[in-house]
Amino acid sequence: MKKPSSKAYKIGGGILLAVIVLFAIFSRSKGDNASAAETTKVETISVGTENIAVATTSSIMSGPSLSGTLEPEREAVLRAQVQGSVLQTYADQGQAVGAGTPLARIDATGIQDAYTSARAQVVAAKNAADIATHDLQRNEKLLTAGAVAERDIEQSRRASIAAQAVLQDANSRRDALTSVN
């Protein structure tokens, strides 16, 4: 018997392949004609690399160079009415606050000591003014009796006026501290 040549194998393989392809086509077309029609109408679209973008999440570390000064739209200058150490703050830097909102608590021992001292000065000035007024009244009685000279009365009047001025000054200092305290 003669051995088949490689050409015969190639022809036989080609025929077998054609039979398998025809079998697959006919079996598919018998099962579903609609899906076969859809598969033949598929269009392919080619997208170029210039139309592809890759989205990633990252920080922007570069940008345009800018020069200039940033200035706030509104600015407020604050100062405390009294001296003292800040014990507590109620608002952070940059936080919006309304008018009259307390911003900080200041150690009030210095102002309380000043207020106590001012009250004591008022009491002392009132006593000095009372004494000067009584001295003036007594010297006026003695003048009518002829027991003192006119210059003693003038001196008593000046002392009484000075004592009243010291009393008014002490009262105003106390009142100024009362509005702060």
- How many CA atoms lie less than 13 Å away from 3 in the CB half-sphere? 2
Amino acid type, 54: V
pLDDT for residue 107 is more than 90: no
Average pLDDT over residues 36-63: 73
Which CATH number fits the domain 111-180, given the four candidates 1.25.40, 1.10.287, 2.40.128, 1.10.8?
Answer: 1.10.287
pLDDT at 130: 96
Based on C-alpha coordinates, what's the Rg of the chain? 54
pLDDT at 157: 95
- Residue 126 CB contacts under 8 Å (≥ 6 apart), including other chains: 167, 170
Mean pLDDT of the chain: 82
> Is this structure's pTM higher than 0.85?
no
Average pLDDT over residues 120-149: 94
Q: Give the orientation angle of helix 6-31 with respect to helix 33-40, to 10 degrees.
A: 120
As a whole number of angstroms, the distance between CA 162 and CA 180 comes to 28
Average pLDDT over residues 144-172: 94
Which one, of 116, 114, 125, lies nearest residue 84 by Cα?
114
Q: Are 121 and 170 in contact (CB under 8 A)?
A: yes
Amino acid type, 86: V
Q: What is the pLDDT of residues 30-43, one digit of tens each?
A: 555 555 555 566 67
For tokens 């009243």, the residue is: 164
